[in-house]
Structure 1
Amino acid sequence: MPIGIIVNSIVIILGGIIGGLLGHLATERIKYELNGVFGICAIAMGIPSITQMANMPAVILAVVVGTTLGLVFHFGQQIEKVAALMQRPIGKIFPHENLAISHDEFINSLVTAIVLFCASGTGIYGSLTAGMTGDHTILIAKSVLDFFTAVIFASNLGYVVSVIALPQFVIFFSLFLFASIIFPMTTPEMILDFKACGGFLMLATGFRMSKIRMFPTADMIPAMILVMPISWVWLTYVLPFLQ
């Protein structure tokens, strides 16, 4: 049973509802400062994963090629369209929901939240681990940060943050189901490189949340798909040739 995934989705729903209900009570300074703090937390979560990478050239290549493909095929724009579609039913349910940010800032923040909740290396790796070993501790630990992050995002974006739990559950549950197929095809080095690639996404997301640099995090998502095959090619063919 995907306990960790269920818990993670529930806390995002609850965080989104609480943030939507009580967000107006928090001052703009509190929202701004806490958003920066959670950005630093995301950065801190990404750094340990990056430092454990087994094959730096493979991970760097995956990030560069994956981001390039995302930019060429406008992957980020597709995510933005999804973000806009997610807001429509919420706008009908809560027609009087007033948001104190512009439409562009709303979409940028919502895309950041989608990437943070749905495409983090911690969440993807935690889902695979839960499906293969039954260990849900990684996802449970992620849920603690996700709850408070959802509250802060919802205080600015409204109840739409709760809807992110739906695509997140689909993605994580799919990984949970396919874990028994994916894991046997990997090596410890490939797993470390995969987590490192997720660390880069977490780092970029943290910079976006802290408004330090608006990295194209949505366009970086294809790197998560490429990193394991590239790591395998590096380990199997390139590294033996260099030794």
Structure 2
Amino acid sequence: MPVGVIVDSICVFAGGIAGAFLGKRLDKNLCSTLTLVFGVCSMTLGITSITKMEQMPAVIFAVILGTVAGELLHLEKGIAKAAEKVQAPVARIMKTDTKDSRDTFMAEFISIVVLFCASGTGIFGALQSGITGDHTILISKAILDLFTAAIFAASLGFIVSLVAVPQFVILMLLYLCAGLIMPLTTDTMLADFTACGGVLMLATGFRIAGIKQFPIANMLPAMAFVMPFSWIWTQVM
């Protein structure tokens, strides 16, 4: 049973609802401070994952080529357009306000979509959960996601809770596909996959903290490239 996937998705949904209801009551300084803390937590998870790297050239190559592919496919712009279409009707139905700055809204919304749906921790956690039944990684992520969703929903509104839907679909598909994917992998490939996810988590942390607006969505193809690159590098070198 996909316990980790279910718990993580419920935490995002519940955190988004709670944050939207309590948004006006939460101290702005507290929200600002916690946002910085969540950014640091994301960086910490990223650094921890990066330390598991086995084949550095393969990971770096995957990140670079993956980002190039993402830029050519305009993934971030596609997510931004989808978010823009969803934002207006949700705001009207729920009668909730988002931040005045459209650019700020888009930057933060894209960051949380990547953080909740496409983080290396979530992807690897879903695969590990599917093949071994160990839900530790996803449940640990769920705890962070609960509070992160609440803080972001305090300013972005109920739309944050809706991120739980694509998150559940993505993580559930990975959980179900784990039986096919994991037997084809090696320990080195998994380590490099985790490290690549760590790079994205680190970049996400910088973005959440407002330090640097990395094009996180455009970096996502790296997650598809890193395992094949790791295998090729191991075999050739």
Question: Is the TM-score greater than 0.5?
Answer: yes
Q: How does 1:7-46 map to 2 (within 5 A)?
A: 7-46=7-46
Deviation (angstroms), 1:26: 1.6
Amino acid at match of 1:193: D
Call closer, same or farther: CA 1:117–1:24 in 2, change over 3 Å. same
Residue 164 of structure 2 corresponds to 165
Give the TM-score, by structure 1 length: 0.95
Deviation (angstroms), 1:145: 0.3
Residue 70 of structure 2 corresponds to 70
Deviation (angstroms), 1:99: 2.5
Residue 131 of structure 2 corresponds to 132
Q: Give the Cα separation in 2 of the matches to 1:36 and 1:180.
A: 37
Amino acid at match of 1:122: T
Amino acid at match of 1:190: M
Paired residue total? 237
Q: Give the Cα separation in 1 of the matches to 2:212 and 2:221.
A: 20
Q: Kindly indicate whether the alpha-carbon contact (under 8 Å) linking 2:99 and 2:105 is maintained by their aligned counterparts in 1.
A: no
Residue 184 of structure 1 corresponds to 183
Cα displacement string for residues 71-124 of structure 1 (whole angstroms, at most 9, x for unaligned residues)? 122111111122223324412321x31233311111111000000001111110
- Structure 1 stretches lacking a partner, 5+ long: none
Amino acid at match of 1:15: G
Deviation (angstroms), 1:155: 0.7
Deviation (angstroms), 1:156: 1.1
Deviation (angstroms), 1:232: 1.0
Q: Give the Cα separation in 2 of the matches to 1:99 and 1:177.
A: 35
Call closer, same or farther: CA 1:87–1:100 in 2, change over 3 Å. closer
Q: How does 1:162-241 map to 2 (within 5 A)?
A: 162-237=161-236, 239=237
Q: Give the Cα separation in 2 of the matches to 1:2 and 1:131.
A: 7
Amino acid at match of 1:141: S
SS at match of 1:25: coil
Superposed CA RMSD in Å reads 1.0
Q: Give the Cα separation in 2 of the matches to 1:10 and 1:164.
A: 11
Cα displacement string for residues 110-154 of structure 1 (whole angstroms, at most 9, x for unaligned residues)? 000000001111110110011101111111111000000000110
Residue 4 of structure 1 corresponds to 4
- Structure 2 stretches lacking a partner, 5+ long: none
Q: Kindly indicate whether the alpha-carbon contact (under 8 Å) linking 2:97 and 2:156 is maintained by their aligned counterparts in 1.
A: no
Q: How does 1:139-150 map to 2 (within 5 A)?
A: 139-150=138-149
Percent sequence identity over aligned pairs: 51
Greater Cα offset, 21-30 or 221-230: 21-30
Greater Cα offset, 64-73 or 188-197: 64-73
SS at match of 2:23: helix
Greater Cα offset, 208-217 or 26-35: 26-35
Q: Give the Cα separation in 2 of the matches to 1:223 and 1:106.
A: 25
Amino acid at match of 1:197: C
Q: Give the Cα separation in 1 of the matches to 2:115 and 2:97.
A: 24
SS at match of 1:125: helix
Q: Kindly indicate whether the alpha-carbon contact (under 8 Å) linking 1:128 and 1:183 is maintained by their aligned counterparts in 2.
A: yes
Deviation (angstroms), 1:164: 0.4
Residue 55 of structure 2 corresponds to 55
Q: Give the Cα separation in 1 of the matches to 2:88 and 2:186.
A: 43
